[in-house]
Amino acid sequence: MYSQELIKRCFVIGPMKDMSRLNLLARKIVAPLVGPHGFTVITPEEGNIGSVMDQVLLYLEQADILVADITGNNPNVMYELGIYHSFGKPSLIVKDSSVSNELEQTPFDIAAYRFLDLPFDDTEAPKALLKPRFEDIIKVLGEIDWFPNPVTRFYNAPIAEIPTAVGLSKNYLKNFLSMILPKVFMRYEDSDDFELKVYEVTGKDDKGNPIERQLDQKQREKLQFEILIPDKMHMANHDYIRNLQEGKLIDFVGAKVIRRSRPFNLYLRYDETGAPVLIDIPTVLVTLNESIQRRRGLQETQIDNSEWLLLETQELERFATKCELFRKKLETEFPSTKKKIRIVWRWNPEIATLD
C-alpha cells in the first residue's frame, strides 16, 4: 500500500544578521503551530547548496507556507517575499514589535495587505495570534489554486501561469516550426524528390471532405514560407481567419505538410509570380491575447487602455523577434533556405496586402 502522506514545508525567512531572532520565530513560535499538522519548518541557513541564494530560491519553491519577518524592512527579505508572491502560495508576514522602530514604515504594497506586529520576546502571544491564521490556511491549502497578494491580484493568477511571448515562442518554434523548417525545402540525397510532401486544399467533395492536390516538382522549387505576426492578437484566431476567407479579404486556401505521416495544417497562397507561399499565422498568440484581455478587464478602471495596447504590441514584437532569430539561424545553418522564409510584422489584412 502506497502512502498518501504529503510532504509539507513551512519556510521562515527574516534578516539573517540576527539568526537568533529568526530561529526564535521558527522554532519557538511557528514550529509548535504547524508541526502537529505535519509540516517541517526550515530556515535559510539549512541545506548544503553552496550558494545561500540558490538555497533560498529552492526553499521558496518547495515551501507550502511562507512566514516572512520584515522587521527592519530588510531588502533581501523583501526580494525573497516578492519572488514567493509570484508563486501565488500562502504567506504570513510578521514584524517584531519588541524591536521595531516606531518611525519604521512598512512598504505600501505590503501594508495594503494583512501583516502582524508580534512581540517575539513573549512567544505565547504570537502563537495565540498566528494559530487561527495558520489553521485558516491549512484548511484550504489543497483546495484553492492561488492565494491573494499584490502580484496575484494584479495578474489574476500566479506569474508562473501567465503566458509570455518569449515562452510561447519557444514552444511554437520547437514543437511546430522546427518540424517543418528547413525540412520542407530539403531533398533526399539520392534523388531530386523533396523530403516532405505539401498538399493544397482545392475544395470539398460531396461529403464535405477536403480535396487535396500535391504540389508538383516545379512548384516546390519556387516554394516560399511566410510567418504572419498579426497587428492585433485576435487576428490569430481561426474564426477570424475563416471569416476573412469567406469574405474574400484574403486569398488563402488550406494546405498541409506531411512529416512521418503527421500532418501540419497551414495556409497557402500564390504570389504575383505564381509561386506558392506556405503561410502560418501563430494561433498560439490567442492564448496570450486571452491572458492580456483577462487582466485588462480586471484592471480597466485603474490603467489607461493605451497602456494595455502598448503591452499587446510589445508582446507581438517580442514574438516576431524570436521568429526572426530562428530564420537567421536557419539561413546560417542551411544556406538553401536563404530568401525563402519571411517574417511579416504587423500583418493586418483589413488595411494592407502582403505583396
pLDDT tens digits, 29-48 = 999 999 999 999 999 988 77
Specify the pLDDT at position 18.
81
Specify the pLDDT at position 146.
93
Specify the pLDDT at position 352.
55
Tell whether the torsion through CA atoms of 162, 165, 166 and 171 is positive or negative: positive
- Please compute the mean of the pLDDT values over residues 165-189 and round it to a whole number: 95
Residue 312 has pLDDT above 50, yes or no: yes
Q: Chain-centre distance of CA 25, in angstroms?
A: 35
Residue 190 has pLDDT above 50, yes or no: yes
Specify the pLDDT at position 104.
57
Model confidence band, residue 76 (pLDDT cutoffs 50, 70, 90): very high
Specify the pLDDT at position 66.
98
List the grid coordinates of 291: 491572458
Q: What is the pLDDT of residues 102-117, one digit of tens each?
A: 545 655 455 555 679 8
List the grid coordinates of 125: 502571544
Residue 298 has pLDDT above 80, yes or no: no
Whether 199 and 212 have beta carbons less than 8 Å apart is answered as: yes
Specify the pLDDT at position 103.
46
Model confidence band, residue 6 (pLDDT cutoffs 50, 70, 90): confident
Greater pLDDT, 52 or 28: 28
Whether 275 and 216 have beta carbons less than 8 Å apart is answered as: no
Closest-CA residue to 147 (of 91, 96, 189, 185): 91
Residue 311 has pLDDT above 60, yes or no: yes
Whether 213 and 202 have beta carbons less than 8 Å apart is answered as: yes
Q: What is the pLDDT of residues 250-282, one digit of tens each?
A: 999 999 999 988 999 999 999 999 999 999 999
Global model pTM greater than 0.75: yes
Specify the pLDDT at position 67.
98
Mean pLDDT of the chain: 90
